[in-house]
Structure 1
Amino acid sequence: MSLGDRWLKAAYDDAAWLRALRPLEALYRWVVERRRAAYAHGRRTAWHAGVPVIVVGNVTLGGTGKSPLVAWLARHLAEQGWRPGIVARGYGGKAGQAGYPLRVTAQTPSEHSGDEPRMLARQTGLPVVVDPDRPRGARALLELGCDILLSDDGLQHLALGRDIELVVVDGKRGFGNARCLPAGPLREPLSRLARVDAMLVNGEPSFTPPVDAWVFRLVPTHWRPLQEGEPAALEPLPFDGPVHAVAGIGHPQRFFATLAALGVDATPHAFPDHHRFTAQDLAFDDGLPVVMTAKDAEKCASLGLGNAWVLEVEAEPPGDFAAWLDRRLAELR
């Protein structure tokens, strides 16, 4: 477990030693509030796209299931007749000579785009652009003909104006000790939730949500080989016996629990979020299959693993959330 993973676990477990960091937390909260006030009072100006912008983000560090929800939103919007595009920061990627804004496809090297944008491009087939400058990335999507934008992990990127804010929370871990960085896992104080349009909780919450929330699930859909080949149904399993399970995501235990529920006999191997895998990381030298998340597959596809499988999952929000979203968007047309 890396130092960062140890700190994150302590933040969610409310470890006593984090109390020593509360003076730094106060400074962090002051900086966050000062930045928010600058946009609210016009000292900084957000750029508005002229089309609806939906921001999907977190108030916590660590995985919440946000990316599958973004993929669901993109597909749902397309089904409703919109022409959606996704703009993202591209965490972990550097565009290099390609430069920003970078149009992402399933063939874009993950070291240029980051893992999540490439996954979203592959899963949705819709325009995806990464750019640290969100307004510039949004303008690139408008030039591609998009008439509605999804800003992935954009809650704290206030330079891009937004019409709808959605915050995603992990149902099991919730808000940890409810403290802001570095004394806890919060990017912003919980009071921020009063200003978002909707909160979605991934899985039945083990806590009482501070605002009304919709509960959604991540549902496994099928297996696919990491290399070329035909997808396989969840049952029967496309491999025999035990496997090695690798996960370089924000909350790897969720993936391991999903495998157990599917009856997979897996030896878990947790890596830091956005870990850039090497062949040595996956050299287990026993011939057993390797299974991984779709996000990790974007970085492992070029490693030449011949006996590796990817578990694809989809977000499944409740019908009343979809109806609420469609009503809100009808007001914006």
Structure 2
Amino acid sequence: MIEALGRASGKVILLGEHAVVYGAPALAAGIERGARARATRAPGGARASALRLGDREHGAAPAEGDVARAFAALLEALPGAGPVRVEAESDLPPGGGLGSSAALGVAIARAVAALARAQAEAGAPGAFTAAAEVAAAAAWERVFHGNPSGIDTAAAARGGCFRFTRAHGATPLAPRDDLWLCVGSTGVPSSTRSMVELVAKLFERKPTLAETSIAGIAALVENAALAIEAGDAIGLGRLMDLNQMLLAGMFVSTEAIETLCRLAREAGALGAKLTGAGGGGSVIALLAPPPPGGAAATPNGAAGRVLAAWRDAGYSGFVTRVKAGAATAAPEEQA
């Protein structure tokens, strides 16, 4: 039996969330946690595709719910790929602001497309490009988020660090040094769609706030890109703190987010902010890089202090790394 595997990265937005919806740039990066999928042909005689996600199985019928509608939209964007059976799993909490749905969409699309290519090599019709995989994952994302910016799908597909605008998509950004982050969870799921709508209503009522917030965040993003390329971790941390202040002024921060940020800074983080839509979800805290000569080591002391401070306050978190150098896409795998 031919089977194919796909994987994809989760993501953090380093700076620029919400402003990116209005055409401003944002900086994002794939993280080491993500999603995996395995695709096989549906059993003999089966005419319908199926997706097993965790302990639940979904068809590709729109009437069965959002996951089924998203799976149907993904398969529709890969015509001729079905019927398939897909098993998928994610290391990322749904609603955590870490791109869980996009990572699943990209992993599933890659597995289905890789299966079609394997079958084409075996004499069956069907082959899909990497661009077709991303388009299929974007169709999946639209079911959950309406009109997403595309930044989550870009991060899931390419990994690494990049600058993103809605007009021009992703442009690779090469960090001089590894970026070490603690990622903390508020424990409260966040809805990207509802938070984007909240900001849209706020900006409609207060156009001056919209103009100054978007311009301010855009300036922070451009300076942060320079800091990342120059290896200026202290400068990057300060810019993250300023971005958090602007996001709080847009009413997308919460008491839990502010607490996580404060605890991280008090424990030695260089900067901290929400990542994603806000209203819950996750926080990122930038750690000082390991000392020279310890390139293979993690900043265990700083990370341990931040995670301990969060744990003592009832929050959970983990450490992740954005590797130095240009972005590289996570390839699909075939077994």
TM value normalised by structure 2 = 0.28
Instruction: Return the structure number with greater relative CO, CA threshold 8 A, min gap 6.
Output: 2
Please identify which structure carries the higher helix content: 2
